[in-house]
Chain A
Amino acid sequence: MSVDAAVETKTVFGSEVPQPPQHGAAGGVMRRLNFGTGLVCGIGLATIAGWVTAIITPSSASSDTFAPMEPTYVYLAVLLGWFIGFMLGMGAFVGPLRWVVGRDITHSDAEYMAGKDLGRKRYWKYTTDHKVVGIQYLIVAMLVLGFAGLLAMLIRTELGMTWTSLFTPSFYNSMIGTHGIAMIIGMIVIISGPLGNFIVPMMIGARDMAFPRLNALSLWLFVSAVPMLVSSMFMGGIQDGWSVYYPLSAQAPPGMLGYQLTIIVFAISTAVASVNLMTTILTMRAKGMTWSRTPIFVYGIFAASVMGLYAFPFFQYAQILGLSDRVFNTSFFDPLNGGSVWLYENLFWLLGHPEVYVILIPSMAVALELMPVFLRKPLFSFNFAVAGIVGVVALSGLVWAHHMYMTGWAPAANYPFMLSTELISIPVGFLVLVAIGTFWRGTAWTRLPLMAVYAVVFNKMIGGVTGVYLSDVPADQYFHGSMFVVAHFHYMLMGAGLFGAMAGIAFFFPKMTGRFLDERVGSIGLWTAFIGFQITFMSMFVAGLQGQPRRVLDFDDQFNLSNWISTIGAYVIGIGMLIFLSAIITSWRSGVLASSNPWGSKSLEWQTATPVPLENFPVLPVVTERPYDYGVPDPYEAELDSTDQDLTEKAGTK
């Protein structure tokens, strides 16, 4: 390269610093794009694609089994048009295209993309700054969870009104399926998205993520998937539960395409996000941050990323094969033509189980991260916590068939899977033990985040114990497909996962927004939701023990009482969550201002200013001690003190 001649310089602190040569001019169309252009392009292209497909598809087109294919093709075209148009309109393709033609994003473009001097506008753009992406993730994930929560209220309303029916059975089924998968998606991102992006880079002392543009990509892929999921409700819906087992899935109306494409796109988003987080954590930790000095939350996010990375493709391919069955008439899951529904179930649960840990581990890690801060003592056995996380990751891929005990697939395999499932309770147990050990003789400074941790530990124990019952093959003969299973996984996903996310949000709120989350309103919301949660799901255990099957809207009168109680509990949860949400909204706008390190935490993210400057740290930090040495005398200071004393003594004797 002969660019040396024209090296540009910039004056920094009075001296000329050469600037890297740029590969093209700054500016361009990228600076005009935002969420609005994304919507316009997405809707525009969706309309055109759907319209053209409707014209070129003969309305007599039908599948092998005479099912009309026109709506399927049109809906597929609309979804693909939306996806491509939206990503185009957001500017997702600008970076790759400029790479191909050798006009790399210039330095000033990169600063623009990071949102420099853009004010609030940056939240509506393809912004690369990890802090902006974190906030965007938080908002979108809360919207998804809110949508799924609304469906949950409708479901419970239907189940509570045992004397009549509110919805048609097929719409009820579609609400169940959409609620389930929307919650799963929302829960997968609610910690890794907002806190993984906003906090982790700062926690490890980095200026941004390893691949800032991929960070924006993962967010906007996620955003693009949300309308696909919601739209499916208008196309006949997802009537087959969140796991969309075959054959029901093959018989489902075109809405199933919305599910399939959502998962395909969301899996790409997860892979991109996981790669980014893992690379960031492995290569960008501050000087001196050895593995034993790396906060446990970072381990948790890393573990979730590993599991998402290796497991999500199975789910994604299961949906690709299903989509191919539906659209191209292949027969992966159709037994008449050599397909197998067990193939689907295996592929599904190969992700399905690791994914529950993708949700649980970050939540546990948040809990373990903030406990030392509020108990002012080191984490009880950091090494055990790490071993627990590593153990879960190592075993996560070996337990999936405990969801298939009763499907008739390989009965002989049930016992090995029973064993592996019970084995994985051991590392999961480590995490609970570490939490309890840390509580032991701690002087608790009970603020809102710590209260949420109490809720997490309690719920997690109940979820874990009932899981062990389910993993027992003979017991599962009775429990499988009953409300007992539903109560079990709600204790885990909601009781441990969502309450953990609430702990994390409350804890990091001052760093993310510069204000405290209102403790009074927040804790009223938290405890209301907690009490409602126990009412709802304890009585759901009872319904399950009585034998009430899941996913049905009509049931025998003997289950009425427990369903009434559950529904009342659900409304209490709903009220609690709304109170918590109102605390978030009002505190964000006008809460009490927080200093840069309001909890007196030792980890790096609290050592920089709030609001966090674009580059996080004026000077990159160097780490010299372990993360949780609260109340432990600092060896360096101790040494300094003693030398001081020596010196004074010496001075005195002189």
Chain B
Amino acid sequence: MSTSTFPVSPTTGEPISTMARRSRLGLWFFIVADVAGTIALVISYTYLWSLNVNGGWAPPGATLTASQTNTALPSTPPKATFAAEWPFWAIFLVVVIATALMWFGYRSARSGNHAGLMVGAGLSFLVTVAALVFQWIQISTFPFDAGDGGYASAVLLLCASNIFHLLLLLFLGMGIFMRARKGLIDKTNWYQAQLTSYYMTWVCVAFILGAILTTFLVVSPNTDPAIFGTFKQQ
């Protein structure tokens, strides 16, 4: 029995195809949990956007037309405004590129093109680093602080979730690259590259969800919001 015709796991001795099947299913289930968490964020964003409690959705300095503001509220000096929309899309695009590169690497591994795998996985890792840097720049240049209302909170948490996802991708990308270099990913054993590509594809979806929210649901539609007192300890 030659190891290259019948690849087995070094740890358990089970056939790679068995490991692949199991891991693929496991990954789908993990994605379900991740999707649920992301949906929780989406719900939080849209919920606060639609309610505009105390007129507190928009950051205090956002330029709203008269019909969009609640005149009952004391006017605060302009301090902050909504975030620019394009960076969300730009970062999304960078993540898509990283994902495409990983897919390229994985397809290359399947067809036995080791150089392609190395290039794909390596570049994918580097592009992910770039995405992380862009994401960081975006967060640190937002025109508002965490305390500037519902929109600011929701956007910051979406970005935090993006960072979390990117860090995971860094870990996976690094692993795929290092393992490819050691020859552990090849024509007969490519499932880990495949699963990484799958996961990255879902991460793209998470990013585009964030971009859609921050582009299309910006000004709250609720111009007559409920007014409550604060509950924080004074």
Task: Answer whether residue A419 sits at the interface, using C-beta atoms and an 8 A cutoff.
Answer: no
Report chain B residues within 8 Å CB of A312.
33, 36
Instruction: Say which residue of B1, B25, B54, B175 sits within 8 Å of A283 (CB atoms).
Output: B25
Instruction: Say which residue of A1, A64, A318, A331 sits within 8 Å of B56 (CB atoms).
Output: A331
Instruction: Say which residue of A1, A18, A102, A310 sits within 8 Å of B1 (CB atoms).
Output: A18
Query: At the interface with chain A, which of B78-86, B182-190, B207-215?
Result: B182-190
Interchain CB contact under 8 A, A334 and B146 = no
Task: Answer whether residue A616 sits at the interface, using C-beta atoms and an 8 A cutoff.
Answer: no
Interchain CB contact under 8 A, B12 and A339 = no
Interchain CB contact under 8 A, A338 and B54 = yes
Report chain B residues within 8 Å CB of A318.
40
Report chain A residues within 8 Å CB of B65.
none
Report the Cα distance A105→B183, complex, angstroms: 16
Interchain CB contact under 8 A, A340 and B48 = yes
Query: At the interface with chain A, which of B96-104, B115-123, B226-234?
Result: B226-234
How many A-B pairs fall under 8 Å by CB? Answer: 214
Report chain A residues within 8 Å CB of B3.
1, 3-4, 7, 18, 20-21
Report the Cα distance A282→B23, complex, angstroms: 12
Q: A23-B182, A211-B22, A339-B48 are in contact. Are A311 and B157 (CB under 8 A)?
A: no
Name which residue of chain A comes closest to B25, CB basis: A279
Q: Give residues 587-606 of A contacting B (CB, 8 Å).
A: none
Instruction: Say which residue of A23, A284, A338 sits within 8 Å of B184 (CB atoms).
Output: A23
Report chain B residues within 8 Å CB of A284.
22
Interchain CB contact under 8 A, A347 and B56 = no
Interchain CB contact under 8 A, B36 and A313 = yes
Report chain B residues within 8 Å CB of A579.
none
Interchain CB contact under 8 A, A100 and B178 = yes
Query: At the interface with chain A, which of B87-95, B128-136, B148-156?
Result: B148-156
Interchain CB contact under 8 A, B183 and A317 = no
Name which residue of chain B comes closest to A110, CB basis: B11
Tell me how far the C-beta of B158 lies from the nearest C-beta in chain A, rounded to whole angstroms. Answer: 11
Interchain CB contact under 8 A, B152 and A279 = no
Interchain CB contact under 8 A, B157 and A343 = no
Name which residue of chain B comes closest to A333, CB basis: B231
Report the Cα distance A109→B232, complex, angstroms: 53
Tell me how far the C-beta of A264 lies from the nearest C-beta in chain B, rounded to whole angstroms. Answer: 11
Report chain B residues within 8 Å CB of A339.
48, 53, 56, 150, 153
Interchain CB contact under 8 A, B228 and A335 = yes
Name which residue of chain B comes closest to A24, CB basis: B10
Name which residue of chain A comes closest to B31, CB basis: A275
Tell me how far the C-beta of B224 lies from the nearest C-beta in chain A, rounded to whole angstroms. Answer: 15
Tell me how far the C-beta of A261 lies from the nearest C-beta in chain B, rounded to whole angstroms. Answer: 16
Q: Is the interface of B mostly helix, strand, loop or mixed?
A: helix
Task: Answer whether residue A453 sits at the interface, using C-beta atoms and an 8 A cutoff.
Answer: no
Interchain CB contact under 8 A, B232 and A247 = yes
Interface string of A225-258 (1 = CB under 8 A from B): 0000000000000000000001100110000000
Q: Give residues 166-194 of B contacting A (CB, 8 Å).
A: 171, 174-175, 178-179, 181-184, 186
Name which residue of chain B comes closest to A305, CB basis: B29
Interchain CB contact under 8 A, B26 and A335 = no
Report the Cα distance A336→B230, complex, angstroms: 5
Interchain CB contact under 8 A, B44 and A331 = no
Q: A104-B10, A335-B229, A347-B43 are in contact. Are A210 and B22 (CB under 8 A)?
A: yes
Interface core residue of B40, B52, B154, B233 (most chain A CB under 10 Å): B40
Instruction: Say which residue of A210, A251, A313, A325 sits within 8 Å of B40 (CB atoms).
Output: A313
Task: Answer whether residue A512 sits at the interface, using C-beta atoms and an 8 A cutoff.
Answer: no
Report the Cα distance A19→B12, complex, angstroms: 10
Q: List 15 A-B contacts (CB under 8 A).
A: A20-B8, A67-B232, A96-B171, A102-B182, A211-B26, A279-B22, A313-B36, A313-B39, A314-B37, A331-B56, A331-B150, A337-B54, A338-B54, A338-B150, A339-B53
Q: Which 7 A-B pairs have the closest CB atoms?
A: A338-B56, A247-B231, A338-B150, A336-B230, A330-B153, A317-B40, A313-B37
Chain A interface (Cβ within 8 Å of chain B)? 1-4, 7, 18-23, 63-67, 96, 99-102, 104-107, 109-110, 210-211, 214, 246-247, 250-251, 271, 274-276, 278-279, 282-284, 309-314, 316-318, 320-321, 324-325, 328-332, 334-343, 346-347, 350
Chain B interface (Cβ within 8 Å of chain A)? 1-4, 8-13, 21-22, 25-26, 29-30, 32-34, 36-37, 39-41, 43-44, 47-48, 51-58, 145-154, 156-157, 160, 171, 174-175, 178-179, 181-184, 186, 228-234
